[in-house]
Chains A and B, each alone.
Chain A
Amino acid sequence: MTDDSLVVTDLHVEFSGFVAVGGVSFDAHPGEVRFLIGPNGAGKTTCIDAVTGLAKATGSARLGERELLGRPVHKIVRLGIGRTFQTASVFDELTVLQNLDIAAGRHRPSVSLLRARRGVEESIEQALEETGLAGELATPAGILSHGQKQWLEIAMLLVQDAKVLLLDEPVAGMSQDERTATGELLQRIAAKRIVLVVEHDMDFMRRFATRVTVLHQGKVLSQGTVADVQADPRVQEVYLGTAGAATTAAMSAVPEPVAGTRQGQED
């Protein structure tokens, strides 16, 4: 393991008796686009919640040498962990620039908060460039399209200079072109950072994943490259309900859950 990897070992999360995550281990390194998939309720979001301090968990989640579990949310963020949410959450009343400016703020001394912003910082300009939002600088985030909001969230993680990006269903509700653009963006980002994506969209996963972990009922079902996972009969069973009957081709025919209708039902 390199110094700057995210290593999760034997993660347990319980909600008043119900085991949502029961002993999950995985790791993620810079340079790969890491995927976490699984049927509804498998515990994917809960894993991210645990790593970011939102859900109380036992086990271990380390970034390099540092243990993350047990720290308050904002301290974990300051260690370089950034996340997005299943429902896009940006500050609707603020402009794109203001959203990014706030995200960039944790590196500034607190006194500088009392001054007004002048100009646009370079890191913000870069992030705008990367995510194709440069034209929307002064647009209130609330009136961005759904896809743009998700890009804004990614841009916020970039200016925040997160070492780890945990993305919860980043392409839900996006068109095919937008998905491709997002996937390519994630590949670029992953060169220097750890990118962990939770997704339902199998097609997206196949095109962009370097390694995949499949969760089912709070446990790791399978782990490996896209091909490994697709060939795993247990995965096929979970996704199709009929053991063995599935082929790789069949799995790729798994209908995507209709994105959008899922939005807002959780979180």
Chain B
Amino acid sequence: MTKPKPWLSLSGIGVFAVLLLAVAPLVLTDHWLNNLGKYCCWAIAAVGIGLAWGRGGMLVMGQGVFFALGAYAMAMHLTLETAGDRIPGFMVLYDPLAPLPMFWEPFRSAGFTLLAIVLLPVLLAGLLGYALFKRRVKGAYFAILTQALAVALATLISSTIRETGGDTGLSDFKYFFGFVLNDPANKLMVYLIAAALLIVCLLAVWQLYRSRFGELLVATRDAEERVRFLGYDPANVKLVAFVVSALMASIGGAMFVPIVGIITPAEIGAAASVLMIAGVALGGRASLFGPALGAMAVGWGQSSLGSTWPEGWTYILGLLFIVVILFLPNGLSSLPARFAAARRRPAEQPAPAIAVAELEEVRS
């Protein structure tokens, strides 16, 4: 059948979980563990992109927006927690007398913040997706509109220095829901939370992919109108995938803040959103592990090469897009199937079994 070995994938997630949650903390230095935590955040967003783009055919080029919702919600809460009863320092800098902006107030509450991290992306993606999908906006239109939203949001944040920190962003968080962030033990805890959330997201898409919804999503991607003639509204199918992917981006963003310690518009704008896509394309958009692993690889490149050899890194990134999409549209995760097929081909005609195996990785 299509999903040849669902249990194999599940044990793959298990191995991955052991590596991230047990092995990594033992063997990695604090510095690298922190970096790994950052990659996990990007990977969480990437898993969502895999769902929306790889399986749903919606090229989400503005996931930075949802990443930002989670990140800024978390950052506002941590900033307020750090400031205590006083007005956050950066605001005092710009206008010592003005009060806290209204929309900051509710983020004092930890509960509200957690709720916002979940609900804000769901609401925004729901609204945007509903508006676009019902009117059958898709393909390049959808891609560019989402990217335009990311650009607009980043510009908005950049220009509202007093309200959002502007280009300098929000940083210098001391506490994380009562825990002192400087404490190595607490840092480990934050890392473990991020890694665990990544595993949870992988489990969620694993179930989605093997469910009937997953099949319906692929069907909608490949022949939206045909799905309509089976009595479904494809807009709803896409909406669900889009909302879930937005939620994952938001969760990734929320964990990014305590791990990295700073959030700026540069982390959420057009370039950042494109970077999130790069990992998914590299790993394999429609596969289960591809997006997460690809995002970790690109994340590693971004934070190591990106700072030591920025020019080279940009060229690599550009080439990555060109080479992978041109020659390996299903990413690195399609290599094994390709090799297998290439080895079998001389012997016999491509048997149905190969096609079935390749179903997992689908051309767009």
- Per-position 1/0 for B143-181, Cβ under 8 A of A: 000000000000000000000000000000000000000
B355 cross-chain contacts in A, Cβ below 8 A:
140, 142-143
- A253 CB–B CB distance under 8 Å: no
In the complex where A98-B215, A116-B6, A142-B355 touch, is A91 in contact with B222 (Cβ < 8 A)? yes
> Which among B212, B223, B227, B229 is the interface contact of A82 at CB below 8 angstroms?
B229
> Which among B219, B231, B356 is the interface contact of A138 at CB below 8 angstroms?
B356
**Stretch of B19-27, B203-211, B293-301, B326-334 contacting A (4+ beta carbons < 8 Å):** B203-211
**Stretch of A10-18, A99-107, A188-196 contacting B (4+ beta carbons < 8 Å):** A99-107
Measured between alpha carbons, how far is A66 from B230 in the docked complex, in Å?
Answer: 19
Nearest-CB distance from B243 to chain A (Å)?
14
Residues B227 and A102 in contact, CB atoms below 8 Å apart:
yes
- B138 CB–A CB distance under 8 Å: no
Measured between alpha carbons, how far is A143 from B356 in the docked complex, in Å?
Answer: 11
Q: Which residue of A lies closest to B217 (CB)?
A: A113
B359 cross-chain contacts in A, Cβ below 8 A:
93-95, 140
Residues A77 and B218 in contact, CB atoms below 8 Å apart:
no
Residue among B207, B227, B230 facing the most chain A CB atoms (10 A cut-off): B230
Residues A106 and B226 in contact, CB atoms below 8 Å apart:
no
B207 cross-chain contacts in A, Cβ below 8 A:
114, 116
Measured between alpha carbons, how far is A87 from B257 in the docked complex, in Å?
Answer: 52
- Per-position 1/0 for B220-248, Cβ under 8 A of A: 00110011111111000000000000000
Measured between alpha carbons, how far is A139 from B355 in the docked complex, in Å?
Answer: 9
- B282 CB–A CB distance under 8 Å: no
Residues A101 and B212 in contact, CB atoms below 8 Å apart:
yes
Residues A91 and B229 in contact, CB atoms below 8 Å apart:
no
Measured between alpha carbons, how far is A98 from B214 in the docked complex, in Å?
Answer: 11
Measured between alpha carbons, how far is A239 from B364 in the docked complex, in Å?
Answer: 43
> Which among B2, B231, B356 is the interface contact of A74 at CB below 8 angstroms?
B231
Nearest-CB distance from A49 to chain B (Å)?
11
> Which among A92, A112, A114 is the interface contact of B222 at CB below 8 angstroms?
A92
In the complex where A112-B212, A113-B211 touch, is A139 in contact with B352 (Cβ < 8 A)? yes
Measured between alpha carbons, how far is A142 from B207 in the docked complex, in Å?
Answer: 25
Residues B229 and A83 in contact, CB atoms below 8 Å apart:
yes
> Which among B6, B208, B218 is the interface contact of A114 at CB below 8 angstroms?
B208
- B94 CB–A CB distance under 8 Å: no
Measured between alpha carbons, how far is A160 from B1 in the docked complex, in Å?
Answer: 22
Measured between alpha carbons, how far is A197 from B360 in the docked complex, in Å?
Answer: 36
Residues A114 and B213 in contact, CB atoms below 8 Å apart:
yes
Residues A89 and B211 in contact, CB atoms below 8 Å apart:
no
User: Interface residue count for A (Cβ, 8 Å)?
Assistant: 37
In the complex where A93-B218, A140-B355, A156-B230 touch, is A116 in contact with B211 (Cβ < 8 A)? yes
B3 cross-chain contacts in A, Cβ below 8 A:
116
- B13 CB–A CB distance under 8 Å: no
A143 cross-chain contacts in B, Cβ below 8 A:
352, 355
B222 cross-chain contacts in A, Cβ below 8 A:
91-93
Measured between alpha carbons, how far is A72 from B1 in the docked complex, in Å?
Answer: 34
B218 cross-chain contacts in A, Cβ below 8 A:
91, 93-94
Nearest-CB distance from B153 to chain A (Å)?
31
Measured between alpha carbons, how far is A75 from B208 in the docked complex, in Å?
Answer: 26
Q: Which residue of B lies closest to A82 (CB)?
A: B229
Measured between alpha carbons, how far is A142 from B218 in the docked complex, in Å?
Answer: 14
In the complex where A93-B218, A94-B219, A105-B216 touch, is A52 in contact with B227 (Cβ < 8 A)? no
- B120 CB–A CB distance under 8 Å: no
In the complex where A77-B230, A94-B219, A106-B230 touch, is A138 in contact with B1 (Cβ < 8 A)? yes
A156 cross-chain contacts in B, Cβ below 8 A:
230
Q: Which residue of A lies closest to B237 (CB)?
A: A113
> Which among A74, A114, A140 is the interface contact of B233 at CB below 8 angstroms?
A74
Measured between alpha carbons, how far is A102 from B222 in the docked complex, in Å?
Answer: 13
Nearest-CB distance from A170 to chain B (Å)?
15
B211 cross-chain contacts in A, Cβ below 8 A:
113-116
Residues A140 and B352 in contact, CB atoms below 8 Å apart:
yes
In the complex where A102-B215, A116-B212 touch, is A91 in contact with B223 (Cβ < 8 A)? yes
Residues A140 and B231 in contact, CB atoms below 8 Å apart:
no
B213 cross-chain contacts in A, Cβ below 8 A:
113-114
> Which among A95, A103, A116 is the interface contact of B356 at CB below 8 angstroms?
A95
Measured between alpha carbons, how far is A143 from B233 in the docked complex, in Å?
Answer: 27
- A73 CB–B CB distance under 8 Å: yes
Residues A102 and B208 in contact, CB atoms below 8 Å apart:
no
B229 cross-chain contacts in A, Cβ below 8 A:
52, 73-74, 77, 82-83
- B196 CB–A CB distance under 8 Å: no
> Which among A52, A94, A102, A116 is the interface contact of B210 at CB below 8 angstroms?
A116
Residues A160 and B231 in contact, CB atoms below 8 Å apart:
yes
- B362 CB–A CB distance under 8 Å: yes
In the complex where A74-B228, A74-B233, A156-B230 touch, is A113 in contact with B2 (Cβ < 8 A)? no
A89 cross-chain contacts in B, Cβ below 8 A:
223, 226
Residues B210 and A91 in contact, CB atoms below 8 Å apart:
no
> Which among B1, B208, B212 is the interface contact of A105 at CB below 8 angstroms?
B212
Q: Can you report 17 A-B residue pairs in the complex whose CB atoms are below 8 A from each other?
A: A74-B232, A92-B222, A94-B2, A94-B215, A95-B2, A105-B216, A108-B212, A114-B208, A114-B212, A116-B6, A138-B1, A138-B352, A140-B355, A140-B359, A142-B355, A143-B355, A160-B231
Give the 6 A-B residue pairs with the shortest CB-CB distance, closest first: A77-B231, A106-B231, A113-B213, A91-B219, A116-B210, A73-B228
